[in-house]
Amino acid sequence: MGASGFGQRSIRVLAFLRKELVGVVRQPLLVVLLVLGPFGILLLFGAGLGSGAPAVTTVVVAPEGSAVAEEARRYAEANPSRLRISEVTADLDPALRRLRGGDLDLVVDFPADIDVALASGEQPSIVFYHDYLDPIEADAMVVAMRRVVDDLNAQVAGARVEAAQQRAGRVEDRVAAAADRVGAVRAALARGDEQEALIQLARLRGEVTGLDAELGPGDPAEALSDGEGTAAETVDELAEQVAELASDAPSEATEPLDRLAVEIDDLRSGLAEFGGLAPGLFVRPFQGVAETVVEGPVDLSDYYTPAVLVLLAQHLGVTFLGLSVVRDGELGTMDLLRVAPVSAGEVLLGKSLAYLLLTGAVTAALTGLLVAGLGVPVRGEWALLALTLLVILFASTALGFALALAARSIAQAVAFAMLLLLANVFFSGFLLSLDRYREPVRSLPRLLPATYGVELLRQVMLRGDPPSAVLLGILTSFAVALFALSWLLLRRRLRRA
């Protein structure tokens, strides 16, 4: 023969490598589709996906001419892209029929007599009827509606605070007058004019009584009280003490008079502080600010790209190898291999190398296109990205071989590839976070090599971290175990039937 044992083995391995590569490369349309197809889909995905949530066609059900209906309209006008109010009506049933008929997305039912209910201490409910079948959309709607209710609550509370501030402004004038009266009392007492002092004190109490009436019960200005009564009541009590002392022991009236002055000053500054605050601070003292520690922004197409690369690599490996191995069986090539001096290891190595190279080239081309064309970030080192992709491709090829040898027909191979793709879509972290699953299903994704691949690529591409050595080790172990299994299956198949 001429070639040595090692040389002959190498020649046989190369034979499979060449045969498989030529077979695929001879279909240039297929190769182009494999690269441009996923790129085009991601391009359309990134370009076509709206930045906000879709508009919600809504009917508001509220009592005819009620303020709340106007309030809802104003809210809708302020958020035109999200809540599109098509009608305000007083009849709930026709609106619900339209909702069930698919004409509407949402019906908001406001209760009648909200002010009466609030005044009587009730918490009236606003009911949101929706017709979303998609649980994720329905959840999103519930969250959005909670926010709407929060906004409405804030608007109502803010309006009340604003009214109170306006009243507080008027009260301030009376408090200023009261302060003047205290000064006049102090001056009268200093002169020993008890009569004048009592007159001023009576006027002071008149101002305070007016103040109390102005503020009224349940007013936000009660926040300025010391917890034992309103500020006006305190002022009134002190004024009464001063009045009593002014006639009996004028010299002792100085101390409560000072306290009275301090109390009125406190009331003035409190009112000034209350009036100077924005109403929003009372109803929403805090605002939430989200800051990410992830380097740079991650949009949806960026987020899905690593998973698409992993799924594509795996699907290519499974499909190509599946079809190749099953076709060998159906064409009778397996009989040729049974007779020829070919070992299972040589077949396995040759075919694996071919598809490793093929999927590697497709994945590299696609990655380049996604990075250059769509601006998908690679925040980690390119060498580490290449290493991660290599391990993913290695595992995908091993999985493809094992499944191909388990399949007995092309239909079975296609079914296996489709089932695996479906499992990966749901359980690899492609669509949903793995934390959303309950045990024992939560452990299922750990049996899928793609799960590790998706996590590793997100680490390298989006987080800019080096790939986890543990995950790389698990993925490599998967690959080695699957190749060993494939070798055993292939050896058995090459033996006599």
Partner 1 sequence: MTEPVVLTRGATKRYGAQVALDGLDLEVAPGTILGVIGPSGSGKTTAVRLLTGITAPTSGEVRVFGVDPADFSPEQRASLGYMPQLGVLDPNLSLRENLHFVASLYGLPLRRRRRIREALALVEMEGDARKLLRDASGGMQRRLALTAALLHEPQLVFLDEPTAGIDPVLRATMWEHFDRLRAQGRTLVITTQYVGEAAYCDRVAVVAAGRLLALDTPEGLRHRAFGGELVDIEASERLPDDIPAVLLEIEGVLSAARTGTEGRGLRLLVGDAGAALPRVQRRLERDGLTVDSAEPRVPSYDEVFVALVRAGERPPAGRRVR
**Minimum separation from the CB atom of position 342 to partner 1 (A):** 6
Cα–Cα separations (whole angstroms), residue 172 to 179, 218, 268, 278 = 10, 18, 6, 17
Cβ nearer to partner 1, comparing 232 with 413: 413
**Token pair for 130:** 């929706």
Instruction: Determine how β-strand 127-130 pairs with β-strand 106-109.
Output: antiparallel
- Runs of H (alpha helix) within 192-297: 194-215, 231-248, 254-276, 279-283
**Minimum separation from the CB atom of position 28 to partner 1 (A):** 13
Sheet holding 83-89, edge to edge: 83-89, 56-61, 106-109, 127-130
Instruction: Report d(CA 377, CA 465) in Å as an integer.
Output: 13
**Minimum separation from the CB atom of position 337 to partner 1 (A):** 7
**Minimum separation from the CB atom of position 335 to partner 1 (A):** 5
- Runs of H (alpha helix) within 379-448: 382-406, 410-427
In this chain, which of 297, 341, 435, 438 binds partner 1, going by CB under 8 A?
Answer: 341
Cβ nearer to partner 1, comparing 15 with 261: 15
**Minimum separation from the CB atom of position 346 to partner 1 (A):** 9
With contacts defined by CB under 8 A, name the span among 139-147, 328-336, 359-367, 484-492 that binds partner 1: 328-336
With contacts defined by CB under 8 A, name the span among 106-114, 169-177, 310-318, 489-497 that binds partner 1: 489-497
DSSP string across 277-318: S-HHHHH----------SSS---HHHHHHHHHHHHHHHHHHH
265 binds partner 1 per the rule CB under 8 A: no
In this chain, which of 170, 338, 442, 492 binds partner 1, going by CB under 8 A?
Answer: 338
With contacts defined by CB under 8 A, name the span among 116-124, 332-340, 377-385, 472-480 that binds partner 1: 332-340
**Minimum separation from the CB atom of position 21 to partner 1 (A):** 11
Q: H helices then E strands: how many in the chain?
A: 17, 4
In this chain, which of 47, 293, 339, 470 binds partner 1, going by CB under 8 A?
Answer: 339
26 binds partner 1 per the rule CB under 8 A: yes
Cβ nearer to partner 1, comparing 63 with 345: 345
In this chain, which of 42, 99, 145, 337 binds partner 1, going by CB under 8 A?
Answer: 337
29 binds partner 1 per the rule CB under 8 A: no
From residue 52 to residue 91, what is the string marking binding to partner 1 with x (rule CB under 8 A)? ----------------------------------------
382 by Cβ neighbours in 10 Å (0-12 / 13-18 / 19+) ranks as exposed
**Residues 4 to 23: which contact partner 1 by CB under 8 A?**
7-9, 11-12, 14-15, 18-19, 22-23
**Token pair for 288:** 């939430």
Cβ nearer to partner 1, comparing 308 with 347: 347
191 by Cβ neighbours in 10 Å (0-12 / 13-18 / 19+) ranks as exposed
CB atoms within 10 A of CB 457: 25
Instruction: Report d(CA 319, CA 309) in Å as an integer.
Output: 15
**Minimum separation from the CB atom of position 413 to partner 1 (A):** 17
Binding residues for partner 1, how many (CB under 8 A)? 30
Cα–Cα separations (whole angstroms), residue 84 to 56, 134, 332 = 6, 20, 65
Instruction: Report d(CA 192, CA 186) in Å as an integer.
Output: 10
**Minimum separation from the CB atom of position 358 to partner 1 (A):** 14
Instruction: Report d(CA 268, CA 148) in Å as an integer.
Output: 37
In this chain, which of 153, 209, 225, 333 binds partner 1, going by CB under 8 A?
Answer: 333
Interface positions with partner 1 (CB under 8 A) = 1-3, 7-9, 11-12, 14-15, 18-19, 22-23, 26-27, 331-333, 335-342, 495-497
